[in-house]
Structures are given as structure tokens and as C-alpha cells.
A and B are shown apart, each in its own frame.
Chain A
Amino acid sequence: MSITNLLNNWSFYRKKRPYQGQYDLNRQYSEYKWAMALDLDICTGCNACTTACYAENNLPVVGKERFKHGHVMHWIRIERYWDEKMGEFPEQGASFLPMMCQQCEEAPCETVCPVGATSHTNDGLNSQNYHRCVGSRYCSVNCPYKVRYFNFWNYPSTAWPAPLPDQLNPDVTVRTKGIMEKCTFCVQRLNEAKSRARTEYRLVRDGEVVPACVQACPTSAITFGNIVDPKSKVAMMWKNQQVDLYKDMQEKDNSVRGYRILEDLRPFPSVMYLERVRDMEA
């Protein structure tokens, strides 16, 4: 990069990156863009979503030793925060934050994959193709949310002893050693619903299909839907919370609780969180 080049293209180089459409200029959603809204005020941190995800997506239970080494494979995890100053430990309440793949619009993981195993789909999902993955783990390093999980061990041979393989979900591949994996928004359910809808000459209705975590949530803290449809529940929540998919560091009223995690890194995530509000005076 010469100085003249820099000066001539000053505005281009000064542009904040990634900007919308940097990687795919023609990307536009005409039918579906799956998105989520997660209310932390309702979430009780019960881990039902994690359990449902284990059952739906054939996740291996790794055990204590490997958990300590960071080899755990939960696609959705409950993060605990002890930052609320309400007395000592037993009285002090934790605040919970379920964290799954945010299905970023300008995903940092997609740009760095050396073999193109992760890419964007026409539904706005961040797809992970296990059969193309060579296990470089670059995507996991580049993910700001740390929601990509690597198969350090050959789990199919150890995680499910004799009768247990019968309970595996046949719609999801059992991943082998050396493969990166992550939350898919339960793409097998989405594909099936989309196919059914297309046969009936319509789009997928709001609430017709939900991922396993949404289905299992006992308090309905997670809302899932198609954000292209302005009447869907999730689109209305995004609108009410003044969160726009393609904006970063958004200025909002004080009354709204909606935000997206690490928005200023500009990955444009598809999951909106609603802030936890507690009356600390009472």
C-alpha cells in the first residue's frame, strides 16, 4: 500500500469494517432471515435449553476431566455472572446469560476459514459444513463469542456406549474427531418446515418451527422467528427494542432493554438480548 494509494482511497480505507455487505454485496433476504430475542429478565438459568440441545443435536457428554480442559461441547451454554452486589454468596443471586452462536451477518469466522467450510446461507444462517472442515480452528479463534466447539476426541466411540446410539437424532450428523461445530439454530427443523411450507405454496408461519432450546424453555424466555416478516413476534420485539440488524452502537431510549452483545465489533449478530432489570433498593 503506497502513500498515494492510501490518499486516493482515503474514504475507503477509513471505512469501519466489516461494513454491511462487505463479504457479500448481493445478500438480501426475500423470504427468511432467522433471528432470536432472548429475555434475560425471564431466564432463570435452569439449563433446560442446554439439555434440549444435547438431545437434539447429538452432543457428547465429555466428563469432568475434559470439561476442565475446555473440551466441553455445549452449543448453548448458560453463563453465570456474580456482579450483583446483594449480600454474600448464598444470598447473592447470579445473573444468567444463555450464549449460543449469534449467527452474525458479517461473521468473523466465515472470512478466516481456509477451506470455506463455514459460509452464509440464504436464510441468514452461518452454516458449518462438517465434511469440508479440516480442523484448523481458526474460526474458533476469530469468534468473539467463543461459541465454536472443537472435537478434540473421537466422541462417537466413547460418548455413547452400547444402547445409547439408538437415541441419536438421525437428522444430525454425529461429528468425528478434528471437526469444528456450533449452534445451527436447529437447521434440520428449519429445512423440514420450509419444505412443508413450500409444498403448500406459502412461507413458514410464525411459531411453526422453533429450535430445541426455544421449545424446551420453561419460561419462554427465548423467541425465535423470521425477521423478514414484519408481523412475526421476533420482528416486533426487535422493532420495539429499537434494535436494527444492520446498525452498530445504536442510540436508544432509556426505557428499552434490547441490546446485542459486542455490537461494536460489527459482526451484526442475529440474537437480541433483553437486559435484566432488578430493583436493587427493595
Chain B
Amino acid sequence: MIHRLLAALCFAFLFGAAAGAEPFVQGGPIGSQTPDGYNALGPVVKQPIEFPHYRHARDMGINCMYCHTGARRGYVSVIPRIDKCIGCHQNIESVRNKPRIKKLFEYWDKKEPIPWKKVNDLPDYVRFNHERHIQRFYFRQNRPVREVCGYCHGDVANMTVDRRVKALSMGWCISCHQKDHKESDTNLKTSHGPGECWQCHK
């Protein structure tokens, strides 16, 4: 009986190892901030540098849009170029000898871009407009930036490497677009997101 159990365990271990990438898990501890039933934990993405989001966004309180500058102006939020990192880090001597920063300067000296991998990826036939969401909720309604970005990206400020925590599926998008959102704190009028195919599908 025990032998059989052991064999089964071994098989499970081997099979799991052979599968390689982490399987898609429904729900999970990180995605549990908004219990809307659509939370889905994405796979762990191995980045060239283990970028500590918590250090920048939570400990230092840096606005997400200081680095992701495209979010307020266009469709893509933009992963910053290496000169953005260097611009600050060449003046921060205290962390210069940390292994991640050393790696960063290696790329800088080689004059190579850091090959970041995409975490929150949408299918090619979908266009998500960051600008509209940021302009509406951050600039017009003055909601905290970590909350606004967190509607789709989860609590990135408490993560090291970013991980997808929402399903980013069409049903999940629609579930929010159909809700009545307040126009502003003083305006009682509510409105909801567009429901046309061509707003997102191209």
C-alpha cells in the first residue's frame, strides 16, 4: 500500500517536473484582494533581473507612472528603457553593489536592452487602452494610483516580480464595464464602460 502511494507520488513529481511551466491556477492568495470570482493567478515569469516592485512602489512610494510612462498617454503602458533605471541608480551609491543592480549595470555597459518578458499579455486581436482607464480613474476621480492600476494588475506594490493575478479574459473585462461607475465624487451621475466590439477588438 505504502509502495503504491510512493510510486504515485514519484510519478506525480516526475510528471509535474516534465510539464515545466507552472500550470494555470484559479484563484490564489495574491488574487484574493478583490473577490469578484474572476481572479486567476498567472504563471510565474522568469525575468532577466528580479525587479523588486515592492521596493520601488511600496517602500519608496514611487508612482507607477514614473516608469510606466505610456499608461497616461496611449494604448500601451510601456516598460521603461534601461536609461530610466540608470538615471536614478547612478546616483544611489548605497545599493550599487547589490547583485541585481550589478546585473543592471552589466546590461548598461554592454549597451544592451534588458530582455524583459511580458507578464500581462493580451491576444493580438485585442487593444486595451491604458490611457482611457488612467485618465478616467486617476486624473479625473483622483483615486490612488495603486488602486487604479490594481483593478487589472493586482497588488503589484507587494510583489517582487510582477505576476498576472486577474484573468484578463473578455468576461472579466465586461464584468467591470457593465458596472455603474460614479462620474466623480461630487457628481451623482453614473456611467459604465463601452460595450461595443470595436472598442477593444480590432
Contact = CB atoms under 8 A, between A and B. Distances in A.
Interface string A178-199: 0000001001100110010011
Contacts of B75: 192
A57 to B, nearest CB: 10
Interface in B117-163: 124-125, 127, 129, 131-132, 135
Given A195-B129, A198-B132, A198-B135, A131 B198 contact: no
Contact of A127 (B131, B132, B135, B198): B198
Nearest to B200: A191
B201 A129 contact: yes
A122 B192 CA distance: 14
A132 interface: yes
A91 to B, nearest CB: 47
Contacts of B131: 195, 199
Interface residues of B, number: 16
Contacts of B198: 121, 125, 127, 129, 184, 187, 191
Interface residues of A, number: 20
Given A131-B125, A171-B127, A171-B202, A195 B132 contact: yes
Interface in A90-140: 119, 121-122, 125, 127, 129-132
Contacts, number: 44
| Chain B interface main SS type | loop
B198 to A, nearest CB: 4
Interface of B: 73, 75, 124-125, 127, 129, 131-132, 135, 194, 196-199, 201-202
Given A127-B198, A172-B202, A188-B202, 17 more contacts: A119-B196, A121-B197, A122-B194, A127-B196, A127-B197, A130-B201, A131-B125, A131-B201, A171-B202, A173-B201, A184-B198, A187-B198, A191-B127, A195-B129, A195-B132, A199-B73, A199-B135
